[in-house]
Structure 1
């Protein structure tokens, strides 16, 4: 049994290589059977919004495909404060994406055997 993985992606199109690395790790861990929670914060919050293309990085899976894969089998969350600063509301989000705050992140990151990674 694998342990839960919490991945926080703090960037988006502003730093596509770092963002894509976090998204790829989350999607790969999910395909390996891990329980995955992906957090989209800062400019990464836009990756959870419907109608936003995200970005395409050469030699990498499209960001939108990676987010959709994690949303289909894990949890994808946009940070409450990050959403508010960008006027993002629940109705703007992709299917399976939620908005939640720091207390939820801390609860997930401190769960028994959880591993948290930040990109």
Structure 2
């Protein structure tokens, strides 16, 4: 009977660990990459994403910003009048080593030509975007 009780207790303990273990948050490494998915054309939301990303870049986290949906409008020189601060921040991030990728399907949808992109921005493709998104240890955020 004692052996049965011990086995039952061990099984219950193992089952409990199995339920709790997936809920334990993963710890971020000191240099884990950050992938920011930027979809908004709201100036404040763009600033939040870029400034947060820049802060993490300064802390040693490689930064990739994927500009898609309406955010592609902020990546166009045509819209400098509407996004002057955001475009300065983009230039600063690029100068600091960030990678900024722009969604080609979204560019087409919103009428943004490749020739109108800010200098240093890369037009996305599955390999380029996927290699940044699926890096080991990468963390993602969306604005």
Q: Using structure 2 for the length normalisation, give the TM-score.
A: 0.69
Whether the 8 Å CA contact 1:41–1:79 is kept in 2: the answer is yes
Q: Which has the higher strand share?
A: 1
Q: Which residue of 1 aligns with 2:120?
A: 96
* Greater C-alpha radius of gyration: 2
The DSSP-based 3-state class of the residue aligned with 2:83 is coil
Tell me the equivalent position of 1:29: 56
Unaligned segments of structure 1, at least 5 residues: 57-61
Question: Of Structure 1 and Structure 2, which has the larger fraction of its residues in helix?
Answer: 2
**Relative contact order: is structure 1 or structure 2 higher (C-alpha 8 Å, sep ≥ 6)?**
1
Match of 1:67 in 2: 90
Say if 1:83 and 1:99, in contact at 8 Å, map to a contact too. no
Matches within 5 A, 1:21-60: 21-53=48-80, 54-55=82-83
Give CA-to-partner distance per residue, 1:64-102, whole Å, 9 cap, x none. 221111222211111111111122232111111011135
The count of residues paired between Structure 1 and Structure 2 equals 112
Q: Please say if residues 79 and 102 of structure 1, whose CA atoms lie closer than 8 Å, have aligned partners that are also in contact.
A: no
Aligned mates of 1:46, 1:65 — CA distance in 2: 14
Cα distance, 1:114 vs. partner? 0.7
Shift of 1:17: 2.5
Q: Tell me what 1:80 maps to.
A: 104
List alignment gaps of at least 5 residues for structure 2. Answer: 1-29
Looking at structure 2, the residues matched to 90 and 110 of structure 1 have their Cα atoms a distance apart, in angstroms, of: 25
TM-score, scaled to structure 1:
0.81
* SS at structure 2 position matched to 1:81: helix
Contact 2:35 2:140 in 1 (8 A): yes
